[in-house]
Amino acid sequence: MVEFSEPVSATGGCLCGAIRFALHGPLPAVGMCHCSKCRRVSGAASNAILNVRAERFEWLAGETHWREFRTPSNWGSFFCPTCGSPTPHRLSDGKRVLVPAGTLDEDPGPRVLGHIFVGSKASWDLIGDDAPQFDETPEAPK
């Protein structure tokens, strides 16, 4: 069993409850993706996620219950096969977990880190905060 050095700061899960998770330590700000794939998978103007360090993420239930769909370009959608809710998933390097903000039980707070793929956002998508906006995705710091 993994022991966490920081207390649970948030919990979340899918609509049917088969998948449950906890986040430990301070919550990161929410990132918003406005690309066409995120619009399709979320059914909304953008997809809100928290990019969490893997050592701060804990599966409470349903760790193997989720499913994924991959496009030919290897873009993936991760979801509960019972209720269809989006689910957290590890990035390919295993160091980070993307957590859909809407799956949290608690309000993650109003902090938005930034908006990516604004260059392809829907014409009806009006961004109402002053967080940084990027036409695509910014380069990671080296």
Residue spans per domain, the chain: 8-120
| Tokens encoding 120 | 């392809």
If you average pLDDT over every residue of the chain, what do you get? 91
The DSSP H or E segment spanning 22 is strand 20-24
CA 97 to chain centroid: 8
pLDDT tens for residues 73-125? 888 899 999 999 999 999 989 999 999 999 999 887 778 999 999 999 999 99
Using alpha carbons, list the distances in angstroms from residue 85 to 88, 128, 129. 10, 25, 26
Least confident segment among 1-10, 23-32, 110-119, 130-139? 1-10
Least confident segment among 35-44, 98-107, 109-118, 133-142? 133-142
Q: Which residues make beta-bridge pairs with 53?
A: 96
Compute the Cα dihedral for 131, 52, 124, 119 and give only its sign. positive
pLDDT in the model for residue 1? 57
Q: Which fold has domain 8-120?
A: 2.170.150
| This prediction's pTM | 0.87
pLDDT tens for residues 56-74? 999 999 999 999 999 898 8
| Tokens encoding 52 | 């969490």
As a whole number of angstroms, the distance between CA 112 and CA 103 comes to: 16
| Tokens encoding 104 | 């949290």
Is 80 exceeded by the pLDDT of residue 3?
A: no
The end-to-end CA distance of the chain, in Å, is 34
As a whole number of angstroms, the distance between CA 111 and CA 131 comes to: 9
